[in-house]
Structure 1
Amino acid sequence: MARQGTIVFFDLETTGLRVASCHIAQLAASCENTIFNDYILPRIPFDHGATEVNGLTVSYGQLLLHGEPVRTVPLHSSLQSFIEYLGRFPGPVLLAAHNSRRYDGIVLKRVLEMCSLFEQFKKVVSGFVDTLPLSRKLHPQLDCFKQQHLVHYFLGGKYNAHNAVEDAKQLEELFNYWNPDNDVISEFTDWFYALK
């Protein structure tokens, strides 16, 4: 199916579930085998539940993934690199995430605004696609719409869920398997030009 522009799939791992205050610890994206992945040292502690899910902790000023140190970059640098990564794709670029409207898109937008980068971001990205309600529309017969369940149901596999790179790659694979048409995609897209 022909689409105008590019859909890039992204995911965040954060310090908790509070969209107004959590910090990003991992920002990753996938599009046509081109991966973006940065770890960011958060400035607030992880909620216990977040660490149980994503395996990330901070010890003595070092970000650890399952107890092993990972290289981090400053938040502002990561966001600038992310915008540059997105700018390499034919536009308009849409960013897709599972539960974007209630979590990933809101957190990313808040942090971009906090770093005074949202206007620059909007020059390369035209909106967010939420694959959670999209999956409900495409497959109403299902009783569970968690990404991990959808991957198992449609793709028959298991993966390292709650690692932002793996989540983004698997979401891209799911989306390509579903192959929704442009009208359905548009129905679950929050366009930036409509935000006033």
Structure 2
Amino acid sequence: MRYLHLPASPSPPPLSRKLKGEHESCGQWCHAADEGYKPKKLPYGKPLTDPNLKEALGDLMTKYALKSANLSKLGSSQANESFNQMVSTKAPKRFLIKGRNSDIIQIAAKCGDSSFDTYVLPEKPITSGASAATGLSFRRGTLFHHNVEVEAQRAKDGLVKFLDFIKLFPNPYIIGHNIKNFDVPILLFHLDQHDLLSEFETSVCGFLDTLPISRSLFSKEEVNGSYSQQSLVKSLINKNYAAHDALQDVSALQELFMKKIYNENELEKFLFYSSYYKCKDSLQPLVAQKVISQNLMKKLAEASLGLSHLAVIHRRDTVNGIKSIFKKCKFCIRSDVVNKLAHYFDSEL
């Protein structure tokens, strides 16, 4: 076990002292020595004087200073975007799931009669709840399934073999149940961690999530009130299976998909791509500043419109650019939202 020792009473960082009119620790970037200097961003152009406020500010800035190494990788060189990116990385709502970096323990896939299945050695202990649900446990570097040792790969080796399997098929799509909010973010995270993301993105055409498709096709009465994969399989094709085994999961889903869901003309509107997550993350500053709603953020991301795309569109036509792209995408958006977006990008120019 490793410990990090921090000083008990660290000195307040230079920025908090600067706001209080103390400039002894400032660098060359500070202009306090210039003739006629005024801190324009502070109330009435004067340093802070309230002792309680100064103490609270010092405590706050110290906490962030001690975490500077973790907060240094910000999302933009622009001040507002950088701050919002920093805050969003600390807020749970930034991610679609809790723990995008959750361990992958088993990977399975099927295409026709061909299948792939491998266990992956976790980097963190398996919780008792997860172990009870899956039958998997990890002890002394060995993975067990219902107390029977199973052969497991290192994460990168398992992902490479998964990629090799995908490449056997021309223009494949990844299909899964509830993968948009769960499996895909985790998979993309780990692929990126092992420098395999670009290779993966060039090997697949896109993704299909059978959860929203099922909700559009079947009433609750048809699926016994639940859209879980297990309930869909039981209700629609009258089969039971081991729901927490990856290979049985994909085998059951393949049969369900081909018998009850597949319709080439209807599925296109449910396709999504890895760019969805990049666009969604880039739009978080707009949500944080209440410029757009979470719902609009998702719509924009699904249309592959990120923050930089909207900025370029507005720059090319500051009067009607945003309005035109919304009309083209068939978004029914109130004029005040369009105006907020235009104002946001005007302030960034």
**TM-score (normalizing by structure 2):** 0.49
Match of residue 138 from structure 1: 217
More strand by share: 1
CA distance in 2, matches of 1:101, 1:191: 10
Q: Is the 8 A contact 1:19 1:103 kept in 2?
A: no
Quote the Cα distance in structure 2 between the aligned partners of 1:95 and 1:189: 10
RMSD (CA atoms): 1.6
Partner of 2:252: 170
1:134–1:184 CA contact under 8 A, matched in 2: no
The question of whether the paired residues in 1 share the 8 Å contact of 2:101 and 2:190 is answered with: no
> In 1, Cα distance between the equivalents of 2:271 and 2:242?
27
Bigger CA drift: 135-144 or 34-43? Answer: 135-144
Tell me how far 1:179 sits from its aligned partner: 4.0
Write out aligned runs for 1:1-196 (5 A).
18-91=98-171, 93-141=172-220, 142=223, 143-192=225-274, 194=304
Identity over aligned pairs, percent? 30
> Residues 125-173 of structure 1, C-alpha deviation per residue, up to 9 Å, x if partnerless?
1211101111111112442111111111111111111000000110010
| Cα contact 1:26–1:39 (8 A) shared by 2 | yes
2-structure distance, mates of 1:98, 1:113? 22
- The one of the two structures with greater contact order (alpha-carbon pairs below 8 A, sep at least 6) is 1
Higher helix share: 2
Taking a change above 3 Å as real, the CA distance of residues 139 and 119 of structure 1, as seen in their structure-2 partners, is same
SS of residue in 1 equivalent to 2:240: coil
Distance 1:120 1:195, change over 3 A: farther
Question: Unpaired runs of 5+ in structure 2?
Answer: 1-96, 276-303, 307-349
Distance change in 2, residues 1:195/1:35 (3 Å): farther
Q: Determine helix, strand or coil for the equivalent of 1:42.
A: coil
1:13 is matched with: none
Q: In terms of Rg, which structure is larger?
A: 2
